[in-house]
Amino acid sequence: MTGDRPDVPPHPDRSGGPPAPEPLTVRDLYGVPPAEQAAVLVTEVEGHLLAQAERDRARREAEALCARLPWLTGAQAEDVTRHYTEQRLALTCELLRATVARAEELRGEYEARFATLRRALLRRHAACAATVLAGAAAAASVLSAVTR
């Protein structure tokens, strides 16, 4: 979670207004409805499981690398495994941050485009409604003049 790590700033609200509230964590669950508590807990557990799976995958890759280097001593193999795992996890974090940043950029672009399209659609509907109203008024005035 971004609030748990000082190196990751909170994300601003998409509308350009005040910053969005931090997502709930397990520590914030006092007084929260049970359904929302369960959703927060599931999200946290899922995040921990995904992080552990990535850690395990990086360690397996490092061990496979060391297995192809038979001249390494046990201590050297452990050191290479530790360094490889650290670098692999750092790269994964960097890639995830870049993906999140790009997703936020795209979301902003899509929201702006949606707002533009919605304004154009509303203008067209207003023009149509005005035309229908003007036509109805003209027909009413013609009908009124004919019936006199």
pLDDT tens, position by position, 70-94:
999 999 999 999 999 999 999 999 9
Of 29-43, 52-66, 116-130, give the lowest mean pLDDT range. Answer: 29-43
Domain ranges for the chain: 2-119
CA atoms within 13 A on the CB side of 124: 6
Give 19's pLDDT tier (boundaries 50, 70, 90). Answer: low
Give the rounded distance of the alpha carbon of 97 from its chain centre: 11
Give 148's pLDDT tier (boundaries 50, 70, 90). Answer: confident
pLDDT tens, position by position, 110-144:
999 999 999 999 999 999 999 999 999 999 999 98
d(CA 124, CA 116): 12
Supply angle C-alpha 48, 83, 65, rounded to 5.
Answer: 95
Q: Are 44 and 27 in contact (CB under 8 A)?
A: no
Residue-wise burial string across 53-66, b where 16 or more C-beta atoms lie within 10 A, e elsewhere: ebeeebbeebeeeb
Q: Which residue has the higher pLDDT, 139 or 40?
A: 139
